[in-house]
């Protein structure tokens, strides 16, 4: 059935399309020659949009502010009558421009699509977002919650980002004679780089395209493309690895290379993923040994690091890489708090990756409101149980099947482990919504 709106999903047939943020796993199918319909996004996303999609027809963008509630009139594919849909944007605190969408409408029910989000208890932004979300919700109950389940597993417990940022600063400060390379994606973790810059009074080297983005975001003066101005460089994840670090450190000892200003170098890997070493033995995943490759490994417990005052959360990978759980996604406790706050009737994960194959209802379904239709409160499953598919009878069969699609079988995961894990992008399941 033809839908009315789509979020982070770009198939033909919707009347309005919504983009949560500019990460590639949320834009698969979106391109510069887009012509399927109007695309809604936040002001910051709109600002960065032309640099991501150079030939995009910008007249198709519908830019909405965070906070106010907007109304759209759409055509019901069933009755062919107009129906009103309200939408409110909530700050997702994930990367610049990232938002959640709260939808409401008579036939539409109440739906919240979080996109990727971080819900830090200590963050002023999350507190503000919480107030705006509760104000926008009023007395309404969320019928369907589509949630970022990247780290929806009790294994994942991250300290607040400002705590980890300070640990990164301490590591850099304790290596005054070293160059430092920090692995980041093309968008995100700007706050970490800004904190480093301010605390150490140092510019950060970035590639020209990233400098352009930082200028658009108003941080241009802190970043540079001139390597001679700084010893700290932010590099793309794909150019970061143990071999690179080892080669730089070998070269730094050779007389011929001293003229090229190659110095001893450490690497910083700020990520919530469980980064481990991949060894020659197929089951050889260990931390801190001197192997040539790193990989994010599903189920690994490297970052099970509840914050202990005064302790550092870093894990050493090889001799030169410091891995720290600086995450732009919510960890398990934060997801739990979020669901306690919004108490949806139904819950659905939006992420499929090697690190996440757990139905969020397995751990968090018991926090949803009892199903008003069946009046069956959800039971908390014992953790030894295997994750289950589906979470609420409120999702009709069609939704249920869509839900199945975002999971990957345990067998397939184990097979992947045996074959050797590799770094891959996560896949995000978008959603199409109709008034059914």
Closest distance to Zn ion from the beta carbon of 184 (Å): 13
* 268 Cβ neighbours under 8 A, 6+ residues apart: 168, 171, 172, 180, 181, 182, 183, 321, 322, 324
- Provide the token pair at 412: 């397939």
Q: Which is nearer to Zn ion, 94 or 132 (CB)?
A: 94
* Minimum separation from the CB atom of position 21 to Zn ion (A): 6
User: If you ran DSSP here, which 8-state letter would residue 225 be given?
Assistant: S
Binding residues vs Zn ion (CB under 5 A) = 23, 116
Cβ–Cβ under 8 Å, residues 5 and 15: yes
Beta bridge partners of 5: 16, 433
Please identify, using beta-carbon distances, which residue of 20 and 157 lies nearer to Zn ion: 20
Q: How far is the CB of 321 from Zn ion (least distance, A)?
A: 23
Instruction: Write the DSSP assignment of 108-171 as a string of letters.
Output: TEEEEE--S----TT-HHHHHHHHHHHHHHTT---SEEEE--TT-STT-B---HHHHHHHHHHH
**Tokens matching residue 130:** 């919480």
Token pair for 14: 């919707």
Cβ neighbours of residue 147 closer than 8 Å, sequence gap 6 or more = 114, 335, 338, 339, 347, 348, 349, 350, 360
Smallest gap from Cβ 24 to Zn ion, in A, equals 9
For Zn ion, give the closer residue by CB, 23 or 132: 23
- Residue nearer to Zn ion on the CB measure, 164 or 245: 164
Task: Name the minimum Å distance from CB 236 to Zn ion.
Answer: 15
Locate 426 and state its tokens: 């996560």
Q: Which of 201, 202, 223 is nearest to 214 (CA)?
A: 223
Of 23 and 178, which CB lies nearer to Zn ion in the complex structure? 23
CB of 161 to Zn ion, least distance (A): 15
Complex with Zn ion: residue 51 or 70, whichever CB lies closer? 51
CB atoms within 10 A of CB 432: 18
Shortest Å distance, C-beta 144 to Zn ion: 21
Nearer to Zn ion, 23 or 210 (CB): 23
């Amino acid at each position: 059935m033809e839908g009315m709106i789509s979020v982070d999903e770009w198939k033909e047939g919707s009347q309005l399309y919504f983009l949560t943020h500019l990460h590639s796993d949320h834009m698969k199918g979106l391109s510069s020659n887009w012509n399927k319909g109007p695309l809604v996004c936040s002001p910051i996303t709109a600002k960065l949009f032309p640099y991501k999609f150079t030939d995009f027809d910008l007249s198709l963008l519908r830019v909405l502010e965070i906070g106010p509630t907007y109304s759209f009139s759409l055509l019901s594919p069933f009755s062919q009558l107009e129906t009103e849909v309200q939408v409110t944007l909530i700050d997702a605190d994930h990367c610049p421009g990232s938002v959640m969408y709260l939808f409401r409408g008579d036939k539409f029910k109440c739906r919240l699509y979080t996109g990727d989000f971080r819900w830090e208890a200590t963050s002023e932004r999350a507190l503000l977002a919480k107030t705006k979300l509760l104000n926008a919700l009023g007395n309404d109950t969320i019928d369907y919650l589509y949630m970022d389940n990247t780290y929806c597993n009790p294994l994942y417990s991250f300290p607040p980002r400002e705590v980890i940022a300070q640990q990164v600063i301490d590591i850099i400060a304790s290596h005054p004679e070293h160059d430092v390379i920090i692995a980041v994606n093309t968008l995100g973790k700007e706050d970490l780089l800004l904190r480093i810059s301010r605390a150490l009074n140092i510019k950060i080297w970035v590639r020209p395209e990233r400098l352009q983005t930082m200028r658009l975001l108003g941080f241009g003066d802190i970043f540079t493309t001139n390597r001679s101005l700084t010893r700290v460089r932010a590099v793309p994840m794909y150019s970061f690895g143990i071999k690179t670090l080892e080669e730089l450190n070998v070269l730094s000892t050779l007389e011929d290379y001293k003229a090229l200003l190659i110095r001893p170098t450490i690497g910083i890997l700020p990520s919530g993923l469980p980064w481990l070493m991949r060894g020659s033995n197929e089951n050889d995943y260990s931390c801190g040994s001197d192997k040539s490759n790193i990989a994010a490994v599903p189920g690994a417990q490297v970052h099970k690091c509840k914050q202990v005052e005064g302790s550092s959360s870093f894990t050493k990978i090889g001799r030169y890489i410091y891995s720290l759980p600086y995450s732009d996604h919510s960890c398990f406790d934060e997801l739990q708090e979020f669901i306690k706050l919004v108490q949806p009737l139904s819950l659905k994960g939006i992420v499929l990756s090697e690190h996440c194959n757990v139905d969020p209802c397995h751990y968090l379904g018991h926090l949803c409101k009892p199903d008003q239709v069946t009046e069956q409160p959800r039971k908390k499953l014992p953790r030894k149980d295997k994750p289950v598919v589906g979470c609420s009878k409120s999702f009709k069969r069609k939704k249920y099947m869509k839900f199945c699609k975002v999971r990957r079988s345990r067998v397939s995961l184990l097979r992947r482990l045996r074959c050797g894990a590799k770094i891959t992008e996560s896949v995000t399941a978008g959603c199409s919504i109709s008034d059914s």
